[in-house]
Structure 1
């Protein structure tokens, strides 16, 4: 971890333009630096103990205070609860999760996102102009 004060670590896919856009937008409004963003395509990702195959399917977040790993809609709920400007979304995300709609919508988006590794790789690491 590069920031000791991080409240959560969010794992995003550096080959996914949508994921990069979400990451950049979160970083713009994370005024207290509560979120540390980690690209799953960088070397050393295995040190976090989450299988790459799982990271490739869903966004994951590690909640520092209890070492809990969450994914999908629960990762977005963790982000919303740690970024003050997103806190008003938390009840809507929780409600969507409770009625079973949130994870289904998340899964649909995650399954249909575009991955672009071609031409962006150097030494085992690929990035899309972040």
Structure 2
């Protein structure tokens, strides 16, 4: 099953995360598309663009949308090297810890990367 990962193409952290994920995606299970490209294709997202600038979105083959922690968890299951550790993210306690950790990283991404996004979206 191929997943579509939507990200903010102007975000430094998003682009670096995409590059690292692509190196792990030996089986080619995740297709990456920036929000900017998605909108140029005339697609209308089932979510607000500002939400995508806040967190990663993944759409599966059935059209189901996964956001933030849930998107990362879904993607990590697709990569051979992260498959087993990703299973731990499906344990009940993982959601309680994973969501706040993901949100904290997303809120502070400009601090982590040491540079701002091209259009200021990292400040969202």
TM-score bracket for this pair, using the shorter chain length: 0.7 to 0.9
| In 2, Cα distance between equivalents of 1:41 and 1:117 | 13
Map Cα deviations across residues 89-128 of structure 1 (whole Å, 9 max, x no partner).
Answer: 2123223533x0100000011111224115xxxxxxxxxx
Alignment match of 1:79 (pick from 60, 65, 75): 75
Cα deviation for residue 22 of structure 1 reads: 1.1
Alignment match of 1:14 (pick from 4, 9, 23): 9
Cα deviation for residue 46 of structure 1 reads: 6.1
Which protein has the bigger strand share? 1
Q: Which secondary structure state, in structure 2, belongs to the residue aligned with residue 108 of structure 1?
A: helix
| In 2, Cα distance between equivalents of 1:97 and 1:74 | 11
What is the RMSD of the two structures over their aligned residues, measured on CA atoms?
1.9
Q: Unaligned stretches of 5+ in structure 1? A: 1-5, 119-130
| In 2, Cα distance between equivalents of 1:46 and 1:105 | 34
How many residues are matched? 111
Q: Unaligned stretches of 5+ in structure 2? A: 111-115, 120-124
Matches within 5 A, 1:95-106: 95=91, 97-98=94-95, 100-106=96-102
| In 1, Cα distance between equivalents of 2:41 and 2:107 | 22
Partner of 2:90: 94
Matches within 5 A, 1:106-121: 106-114=102-110, 115-117=116-118
Contact (CA 8 Å) 2:77, 2:87: kept in 1 or not?
no
Cα deviation for residue 29 of structure 1 reads: 1.9
Partner of 2:53: 56
Cα deviation for residue 70 of structure 1 reads: 0.6
Partner of 2:25: 30
